[in-house]
Amino acid sequence: MSNLLAQMMRAWPMSEAFITATAAALPNAPVDNESIEAVLGQIGGKPSRARPIILRQNGIKSRHYAIDPANGLPTHTNASLTAEAIRTLAQTSGFALDSLRCLVTGTSMPDQIMPNHGVMVHGELGNPACEVVSTAGICLSGLAALKYAWLAVKGEETANAVATGSELSSAILRANCFSEESAARVAALSTQPAIAFEKDFLRWMLSDGAGAFLIEPRPRAGQTNLRIDWIELSSAAHRLPVCMYSGSERSLDGKLVGWAQFSPRQWAEKSIFAVKQDVKLLDRHIGDAMQTPLPALIMRRDLKAEEIDWFLPHMSSYYFQQLIFDALAQIGLPIPFDRWFTNLETKGNTGSASIFIMLDELYRSRRLVPGERLLCFVPESGRFSSGFMHLTVV
């Protein structure tokens, strides 16, 4: 029976799906390192002592915030920034939004708990009825959205799809989001205003942006297309603890306690909705995001370092560049740095949007050559998940 099934699968023509257009939306002018606190504000009216240390380590020199530097007010919502990326995609590719059949969005922090991010983006766009799906998570939510869109087109469930990744981290990085916690700590400890390092750390790591890909069943003639060969996602939550979280707090026994278990007053005093990250845990287990799922993936997909022309890793900091290379080398995939592509230095860490913004820049650089193979890597420190995507230029 298995031989017959294998013969049938070989005889059956497999559909394909291609990224035929890309776009990115980065709000407002780039913000350099010396201007960050002028935009985000100073907590307790004092400059962060952690800022220069963290910026020196992460190697980010500029980023974008959806904040008007003149008055500190937001210029975009997550939904409107995502819609802007999709409109740019349509305008630059000639794709008519009225013909969109499937919209899939991924983000770490939508503008609201309910309804889902995707329908809010659909509302911003105003295009006719279509299938709308949202994926949850942190950095991996964008790649998960892309996988749904790819499978929908590849499986001939839809004629086309647009997948997005977007972040509006600045909404919870502004100093006024921490004012109640700062005041509470002063009252309790009689010390200078401060917040926990795991919260301050991420204020200098995260930024805003959105990206969008058009997925179609056939490549477009006369242009560069990216065939999606496969996307694989993996979670290590069965053996590793929570590392990055929001809307919750870690208890003394290490368990995560959700926002609904706290009072509204505690939400503010403990900055419950701030993004937190256990940096020691991250440093200890970052290699697990690759070294656990990748050996089997190398065997199953017959991956060879010499056959990878471009490696696009999502990194929160250049601090992890060597760690990622070493982890790859240890499992037999030593991709040299001259084949890496990242724009972390100029675009910052845009979370789930990062792989979209990175690939869009490479795609538009006209450096891709037909036949080249790309391997994209997206780790997520929430509870140490990872995603890999393989593309071929056609």
Name, in order, each residue with C-beta under 8 angstroms of 69's C-beta and a sequence gap of 6 or more: 28, 31, 35, 38, 39
In one-letter notation, the amino acid at residue 361 is E
Q: What is residue 2's predicted lDDT score, i.e. its pLDDT?
A: 52
3-class state of residue 328 by DSSP: helix
Q: What dihedral angle (degrees, nearest 10) is formed by the CA atoms of 340, 341, 343, 344? A: -30
**22 phi/psi in degrees, rounded to 5:** -135, 155
Determine whether 143 is exposed, middle or buried from the number of CB atoms within 10 Å of its CB (0-12, 13-18, 19+). Answer: buried
3-class state of residue 7 by DSSP: helix
Name, in order, each residue with C-beta under 8 angstroms of 282's C-beta and a sequence gap of 6 or more: 243, 244, 381
CA distance 306 to 231: 20
Q: What dihedral angle (degrees, nearest 10) is formed by the CA atoms of 286, 292, 298, 304? A: 30
Determine whether 323 is exposed, middle or buried from the number of CB atoms within 10 Å of its CB (0-12, 13-18, 19+). Answer: middle
In the numeric block, the tokens 């056959």 are attached to: 307
Contact between 118 and 133 (Cβ < 8 Å): yes
Q: List the pLDDT tens digit at each of the 394 positions of the chain.
A: 456 555 544 555 569 999 999 999 999 999 999 999 999 998 878 888 888 888 998 999 999 999 999 999 999 999 999 999 999 999 999 999 999 999 999 999 999 999 999 999 999 999 999 999 999 999 999 999 999 999 999 999 999 999 999 999 999 888 887 654 444 443 443 344 444 555 677 889 999 999 999 999 999 999 999 999 999 999 999 999 999 999 999 988 889 999 999 999 999 888 898 888 888 888 888 777 677 888 999 999 999 999 999 999 999 999 999 989 999 999 999 999 999 999 999 999 999 999 999 999 999 999 999 999 999 999 999 999 999 999 999 9
CB atoms within 10 A of CB 393: 17
- Beta strand pairing status for 244-245 and 161-168? unpaired
Q: What is residue 388's predicted lDDT score, i.e. its pLDDT?
A: 96
| Buried/exposed 239-261: b ≥16 CB within 10 Å, e otherwise | ebebbbbbbbbeeeeeeeeebee
What is the token pair recorded at 384?
Answer: 């140490």
CA distance 361 to 61: 17
In the numeric block, the tokens 């709308």 are attached to: 132
Q: What is the 3-state secondary structure (H, E, C) of 188-219?
A: HHCCCCCCCHHHHHHHCCECEEEEEEEEECCC
pTM above 0.85, yes or no: yes
